[in-house]
A and B are shown apart, each in its own frame.
Chain A
Amino acid sequence: MEKKDIIQSFKDSLFTGLIALALFGPIVGLRTASKGEGLYITPQWGIVFLLVGLCIIGRFLINLNSARKTEITFFSKFTSKFSAITEDKAKHFAITAILFAIVFPFLPFTDRYFMDVAIMILTYIMLGWGLNIVVGLAGLLDLGYVAFYAVGAYSYALIATTFGWSFWICLPLAGVFAAFFGILLGFPVLRLRGDYLAIVTLGFGEIIRIILINWYEVTNGPDGITGIPRPSFFGLPFKRSPDEGETSFHLFFNLEYSTMHRIIFLYYLILVLALITNYFTLKIRKLPVGRAWEALREDEIACKSLGVNPTNTKLTAFAIGAMFGGFAGSFFATRQAFISPESFTFIESAIIVAIVVLGGMGSQTGVVLASIFLIGITEMFRDLEQYRMIAFGGAMVLIMVFKPKGILANRKPTILMHGDKK
């Protein structure tokens, strides 16, 4: 490399450092802290210089790399190899992952915190798989998916607290309610596509949230609903001291009482729900209705010319996607035992859409990887407090740079004439 080039890239790096300083200076450098009566600013110049230094060095390295003409292909090689493995050995990969998920609660390093994170990741995986039907297969960009999550959670909470029915009755009911709302949203947006559809669904998500806040008589408004019954293990509650005439889980199985029992049960519950979602999606993709969804995503006019009814096809996609959102919502309600409209803001929808898009539209395994990556990373950096959103953003940027079509973007045909050629 010539000397001129080095000087050039050095200047470029310094300029990058300047931009980094302008950004990190006020954002990271100045921190407000409350001491006694008022707010004081505590400067944190050390971190700022560290970040700026990192930016300068990083930029310089990128410049050096591009000057080498042959780029370092390590990362893209790694990811493409990874997708090749997951593709070839899709079955093995899935079985290993499921086995790991089953033994996970009993691994030696698994503690309460890990379990909570795992339950959260599984909830997002289930939501991602549900939304994958609407966005990935039917190609209807839905930015208000959290509305169905909310409908599921509130239907479960209201039915369970009002009638005192068990989780296993309320769960399907919540799914049915959510599916009904899916159809309700589906009707007015039948003629919309792309950006327009996205805006309307976004509005729908907000409408549901605002109704939940304002309809005080039913939803208890911003105070939320408390005392939602916990699920029981086939009639055996997870309680230290059961009520009169009741046997609780630990007594029945002669175990030492531990709060972990309930957590582990919840973990398996969401695992089973998520796997049902996955099985259902994989199955329905290979049925005529699934193929019609994908055809509709590709070309609606061609679909009409072949006699495919676009109205019914879209509505089934909305309804089924919403139903799984509703299931996930009722799980959320029973896990938290408390829900309020605050849990169902737009950011939730955005995260779920991000999981589907980053995973690779329509890819079931991609959703798993993206959920672990996005939710896992934000959890890992929880110590950084509000800066963990930077990690979230960084993770997204990394995926989009190296895998612009999503982590796993390959689509396999739903039916083969000649069988597997390999």
Chain B
Amino acid sequence: MSNLLSVENLTMKFGGLTAIDDLSFDAKNNQITSIIGPNGAGKTTVFNCLTGFYKPTNGQMFLHKEDSKISLRKYTDFKIAYVAKVARTFQNIRLFPVMSVLENLLVAQHNELMVASGYSLYGLLNLKTYRDKEQLAVDKARYWLDIIGLTHRADDNAGDLPYGDQRKLEIVRAMCIEPRLLCLDEPAAGLNPKESAELNKLLKFIKTEKQTGILLIEHDMSVVMGISDHVVVLNYGKKIFEGTADQTKNSKEVIEAYLGVDE
């Protein structure tokens, strides 16, 4: 399987504090790569560097396309999602609460719809070309809503959904931009065991059916060990271990630093 993302010697310093220290790892297409580690290990900072919210002090991040590779450092802000097609979700859910579920999914398709609406001109004239494109966008939203079983609530406000559904909605909203890399920041936080199981199913579906690699930050070990193909363990901004889920479970350093032992 081909490499999708390679992070090389990534370093991020905030003043005197080194949040990420010379981190290198790879993530592959159609695989779930988990980043785990204790609180404050720098996991979310890695995400913020990848998705353009921070500019790393040092190091390179490459996203591989068929035979070329693009440097993520060049893109900041909204261009990460728009040009490089890296999508993310947030630790604390960031939906548009007073907009409907469907509208949330349409905002994610903003850039295609903007072009389709002729930068609002065709839309104002109510041309058929735009109406057809809009219908396609709605169909795409319906496709994803069918998968997470929320089609019947498409016209309700996103903020009125139960917590677990909001988590899932945020993930499919990110999928609506058709990303090559999907970064999920603690998607299982606050979910009950049944909801976690549903989440696992959804992530497995995305991984196998879509041309998308998943990067996952998670504390819930049932999720991490259940679905990860590859695990990267961070502690104090340094990579202390990298391997498959089984290798990670049995690694002495990881148990010492993070997992602990059963009494």
Contacts and interface: CB of A to CB of B under 8 A. Distances in A.
Interface in B84-99: 87-90, 94-99
Contacts of B154: 416-418
Given A302-B96, A306-B110, A307-B177, A287 B138 contact: no
B101 to A, nearest CB: 8
A309 B94 CA distance: 17
Nearest to A362: B98
B141 interface: yes
Contacts of A298: 96-99
A280 B126 CA distance: 12
Contacts of B151: 417
A89 interface: no
Nearest to B118: A287
Contact of B90 (A302, A310, A411, A413): A302
B67 interface: no
A299 B96 contact: yes
A361 to B, nearest CB: 10
Given A292-B107, A416-B155, A417-B151, A305 B98 contact: no
B33 interface: no
Contacts of A350: none
Contacts of B103: 291, 294-295, 413-415
B141 A291 contact: no
Given A298-B96, A304-B81, A309-B82, A288 B102 contact: no
A301 interface: yes
B114 A413 contact: no
A283 B124 contact: yes
A306 B108 CA distance: 5
Nearest to B97: A298
A284 B107 contact: no
Contacts of B152: 418
A284 B120 contact: yes
Given A306-B81, A306-B174, A417-B142, A295 B100 contact: no
Nearest to B142: A417
Nearest to A284: B120
Contacts of A421: 155
B114 A307 contact: no
B88 A287 contact: no
B117 interface: yes
Contacts of B88: 305
Given A305-B174, A306-B177, A417 B81 contact: no
B106 A415 contact: yes
B110 A291 contact: yes
B99 A305 contact: no
Given A304-B78, A305-B87, A417-B151, A292 B110 contact: yes
Contacts of A309: 78, 82
Interface size band for B: 35 or more
B194 to A, nearest CB: 26
Interface string A106-118: 0000000000000
A395 interface: no
A416 to B, nearest CB: 5
Interface string A387-422: 000000000000000000000000101111110010
A305 B81 contact: yes
Contacts of B95: 299, 302
Given A305-B51, A306-B107, A287 B120 contact: yes
A418 B156 CA distance: 11
B89 to A, nearest CB: 8
A284 B98 CA distance: 18
A309 B123 CA distance: 19
B223 interface: no
Interface string A288-332: 110110110011011111111110000000000000000000000
A295 B96 contact: yes
B256 interface: no
Contacts of B155: 413, 416-418, 421
Contacts of B168: none
Interface of A: 280, 283-284, 286-289, 291-292, 294-295, 298-299, 301-310, 411, 413-418, 421
Given A284-B124, A306-B173, A415-B138, 14 more contacts: A287-B123, A288-B113, A288-B116, A291-B110, A294-B103, A295-B99, A298-B96, A298-B97, A301-B53, A304-B78, A307-B80, A308-B110, A309-B78, A417-B142
Interface of B: 51, 53, 77-82, 87-90, 94-100, 102-103, 106-108, 110-111, 113-114, 116-117, 119-120, 123-124, 134, 138, 141-142, 151-152, 154-155, 173-174, 177
Q: Which 10 A-B pairs have the closest CB atoms?
A: A307-B81, A307-B82, A298-B96, A413-B100, A417-B154, A288-B113, A302-B94, A287-B123, A295-B107, A304-B78
